[in-house]
Amino acid sequence: MNFLSLKFLLFFGLVYLIYWNFGDKLKRPFILIVSAYFYSTYSFNFLLHLIFVISVNFFIIKYFFEKKYFLKLSVFFNLLNLVLFKYFYFLMELFGGLTGLKFLTQKTELNQMLSSLTTINGFEIALPVFISYYTFQFISLSVDLKNKVLEEKPTYYDVSSFILFFPVMVAGPILRFKQFVPQLKSPKMDEDLMYNGLYLILLGLFKKAVLSTLLVPVIYPVLSKPADYASYTLLLCSFSFAINLYLDFSGLTDLARGMGKLLGLELPENFKAPFYIDSFGELWRRWHLTFSYWIRDYIYIPLGGSRASNWRVSLNLIITFTLGGLWHGASLNFALWGFITGIYLSLERVYSGLGIRIIPKIPILNPILNWLLIITIYIFSWIFFFTPDFSTAISVIQNILIFKSGKGLNEYEMIVYIFVFTAIFHYFQEKPEKFTNLTKAKKYLFPVFSLIMILLLINYGGGNFDFFYSQF
């Protein structure tokens, strides 16, 4: 059930009306039931599998928490579940390539072999929705229990409520037990919270259903056939894809957080004006924050974090982001994207420690040149992130660097408008104090913005309803 569908609008409207007519004791089980239903709309088998995973995690917590190997057992089970469903074909392809067993590199042939072994017609390992996100949540729960961040062991009801919450069951934000579950005991609502939630939903719709919908048909044809286009076109579309990724993913987060507020719950923020940066590291203090904080707390710090020599810290960064890249998807491209990101962050740390400046100090121009350098280098790494395979990524990068001639675009004006809107979103988020008069009038402006949004959706909101990050 897609967030942007009429079916989901009716679903959420009905949930909202019933939810606030229940007392606090009934709100939580009601949300649990409707979240299970929401997840089952993708596949009832996915729901059965998730219930099984929840049950095993609770069993491990209940009966093995006092054991020395509790954390290892919990992490092993959750990673095994993730590897089986997300990385099985990727690992088989790697193994087949190394051993020369070609049938392992062909998904169709491998499925036929598995069908014959299991006597199940049409056997295929499907990727459950939300699996990468709930795996992170289960691991964080176990680590926080072990580190006594949580004072009491959760009940089965607590664990289920932590995982089954439909606003985040597409692509996050990634929740922490201590921040989220206590809110379920007594959700609160007031006028300010309601309007904040409604505005977040309007903003999310505008970003995804309007701006991203306009941008995707422009950039995807270019990046799918890079050999046909000029270097400047490929570079512009690479920048545009980064903007589209922001619009798509922050739009999804706005929708999730808006729904959370309308249910009386605060969900964590995922984006804080991510292109307002002056260093490589700052991007990850602004972009996909719940992911950034998770890999910091549960991978980077356990590896030793920053409490070591520059070279050891660099290795920690590279390992952390390479694993983070693989979390996004089972492909060489995602691993390379993560590895390159780790290299950027490591070099920045080493250079900073040695007092080396890549860009000399030039009054006024220095911040602009610094920003352009950082964004451009990040864009080249993101090419691995958004192209379908390694050869396409290399083709795009190569054709940019050789200043190749080729086709251009006809939609420059629209791209400029979308860039301007993105800058406005960033300024509003970075400088909220500049808009205090506007926020005071939000109650009166809401009908106007709602009408504008309806007209925009009628004119531009067709297609492109799949969220990019939902594939992870």
Instruction: Please state whether the peptide bond connecting residue 173 to the residue before it is cis, i.e. omega within 30 degrees of 0.
Output: yes
C-alpha span between 39 and 164 (Å, rounded): 8
**Interacting residues of 49 by C-beta distance below 8 A, sequence separation 6+:** 128
Q: Which residue, 310, 386, 390, 312, is CA-closest to 97?
A: 390
Q: Which residue, 411, 393, 5, is CA-closest to 217?
A: 411
SS3 state of residue 313: helix
The answer to whether residues 249 and 271 touch, using CB atoms and an 8 Å cutoff, is yes
Residue type, 31: I
- pLDDT, tens digit only, all 472 positions of the chain: 888 888 999 999 999 999 999 998 999 999 999 999 999 999 999 999 999 999 999 999 999 999 999 999 999 999 999 999 999 888 888 888 888 778 777 888 888 888 888 778 878 888 898 999 999 999 999 999 999 999 899 999 999 999 999 999 988 899 999 999 999 998 989 888 899 999 999 999 999 988 998 898 888 888 888 888 899 999 999 999 999 999 999 999 999 999 999 999 999 999 999 999 888 888 899 999 999 999 999 999 999 988 878 889 999 999 999 999 999 988 889 999 999 999 999 988 888 777 776 666 666 667 788 888 889 988 999 999 888 889 889 999 998 998 888 888 888 888 999 999 999 999 988 888 877 777 777 778 888 888 888 888 777 765 556 777 666 5
DSSP per-residue codes, 426-441: HHHHH-GGGGHHHHHT
C-alpha span between 69 and 175 (Å, rounded): 25
Output the CA–CA distances (angstroms, integers) from residue 88 to 53, 331, 380, in the order listed: 18, 11, 29
**Interacting residues of 294 by C-beta distance below 8 A, sequence separation 6+:** 136, 140, 174
Q: Which residue, 460, 396, 370, is CA-closest to 235?
A: 396
Q: Which residue, 54, 66, 67, 65, is CA-closest to 156?
A: 54
The answer to whether residues 46 and 129 touch, using CB atoms and an 8 Å cutoff, is yes
User: What does the CA dihedral 212, 217, 222, 225 come to, rounded to 10 degrees?
Assistant: 130
